[in-house]
Amino acid sequence: MKKVLIIGAGPSGIFSALELIKQKFDGEITLVEQGRKIENRSCPKFKTKECVHCKPYCNITSGFSGAGAFSDGKLSLGYEVGGDLPTLIGENNIEELISYTDKIYLEFGADTRVEGAEETEEIREIRKAASIAGLKLVDCPIRHLGTEKAHELYLAIENFLIQNGVNLLAEKTCEDLIIENGTCVGAIVDGEKIYADIVIAATGRKGADWLENVCKAHGIEREAGVVDIGVRVEVRNEIMQKVNDALYESKLIGYPKPFCNKVRTFCQNPGGFVAQENYDNNLAVVNGHSYKELKSNNTNLAILCSHKFTYPFDDSIAYAKKVGEMANMLGNGRILVQRLGDIKAGKRTWEKELSRTNVKPTLPDAVAGDITSAIPYRTMISILGFIEQMDKVVPGFGSDETLLYAPELKFYSNRVKMDKKLNTSVKNLYCLGDASGWTRGLMMSSAMGVYLARQLVK
């Protein structure tokens, strides 16, 4: 009987297990996850209001369903966002794959409503304004699960996997892979060797540097990828209303001067809440999410600036971490928040100034300060240039009271080299999802899991 060992129970890992079952794979599937099962995952901050730095692992980023469980659950149904999987497996395959994966989400209870699917007059107007401002509006219909519904949906998937014989080893950490003569034969989990015919590393963003180190140690071929460094922007709902109503999420891309780095909007949350997530070694980064029912007066979204380093330095993850550490240091371990008007005036923001504005921060434990002392010049100038362009599409976006939180970091820089069938340079080892460097979102990472399962069954 063939044995499959999946490391990491995020969307990519669990969708590969799901599809193996759907394709009637008759072997043994073991899923190792360092966080808790979904029913035991909860973020104490809902009660304490302040992050208590859960040990050993942050409940937001670890546990069954990975970074997805407490995520806003916006499934991007277009293939132009969510990573570079289409360039790897071909654009022809990807549309069918996304639609198939979306049907699985629907089977497990996702909302049937899709936002931004029709080309309305309002969308045409937004596209025109973007065009005039020098930004590209990417078409991407969204299915919004909502944080609380995403939790229920992934619980149903967890139950389905267990009922169908998947051996779920929660609260177990994979330390290393076992590679003999160029073939992966298993992994070391909490000091114990687990042997398998196929090993799938799906350790997500938080496991990206773990995977990078494993690649370096075992000579698994990889290449430097991009890393995204940016801020989370928060404005009143009234400012974003037109875009929120027409699209729910606006995916805008620009290349502001003088550096012309790619800058884009990401993860827009109408009526949402700014959130904090913690990586191992206490790195606190900002994110955002929104509930289906509970709404705030604000909309938040990320503005991310992509960086790629090649020579003589190519460790983009290390670079982004240093930026994050600097911001955390200036916030004394907390997320920094600053008014855009203060950035323009060349001064820090003080708590009393925050309390005077219309935009009340939805991350209560963020600390007012100066993000410009932490974010590198190139990144900061690119973000400010992009905000000026955004202000032409969404009047008021660049107003003085707009809030900027930092650091917002996306670690997917280590890109594992693989062919169209997802074979890596090591036999029987596959890498999936955000850790592989090929995806950066719920739908694309889930779809990559489905795609791999189909290849394996073939």
Ligand X SMILES: Cc1cc2nc3c(=O)[nH]c(=O)nc-3n(C[C@H](O)[C@H](O)[C@H](O)COP(=O)(O)OP(=O)(O)OC[C@H]3O[C@@H](n4cnc5c(N)ncnc54)[C@H](O)[C@@H]3O)c2cc1C
- Which spans of this chain sit near ligand X (rule: CB under 6 A)? 7-13, 32-35, 61-63, 66-68, 70-74, 76, 173-174, 202-207, 210, 267, 275, 277, 287, 289, 433-435, 440-443, 445
Q: How far apart are CA 393 and CA 383, in angstroms?
A: 15
Token pair 């974010």 in the structure block, residue: 375
Cβ atoms of 142 and 248 within 8 Å: the answer is yes
Helix/strand/coil percentages in the chain, nearest 5: 35, 25, 40
Per-residue burial over 265-300, b if 16 or more Cβ lie within 10 Å, else e, is: bbbbbbbbbbbbbbbeeebbbbbbbbbeeeebebbb
Minimum CB–partner distance for residue 86 and ligand X (Å): 15
Minimum CB–partner distance for residue 272 and ligand X (Å): 10
Q: How far apart are CA 17 and CA 23, in angstroms?
A: 10
Minimum CB–partner distance for residue 288 and ligand X (Å): 7
Nearer to ligand X, 48 or 358 (CB): 48
Minimum CB–partner distance for residue 54 and ligand X (Å): 12
Minimum CB–partner distance for residue 378 and ligand X (Å): 25
Nearer to ligand X, 167 or 373 (CB): 167
Rg of the chain over Cα atoms, rounded to whole angstroms, equals 21
Cβ atoms of 399 and 340 within 8 Å: the answer is yes
Minimum CB–partner distance for residue 306 and ligand X (Å): 16
Q: Transcribe 370-382 into DSSP letters.
A: -GGGTS-HHHHHH
Minimum CB–partner distance for residue 383 and ligand X (Å): 20
Structure tokens that stand for 186 in this block: 């298993």
State the amino acid at position 111 in one-letter form: D
- Long-range Cβ pairs for the range 112-119 (8 Å, 24+): 113/143, 113/144, 114/77, 114/141, 114/142, 114/143, 115/141, 115/142, 115/143, 115/144, 115/247, 115/248, 115/249, 116/140, 116/141, 116/142, 116/246, 116/247, 116/248, 116/249, 117/77, 117/141
Nearer to ligand X, 30 or 203 (CB): 203
Nearer to ligand X, 68 or 369 (CB): 68
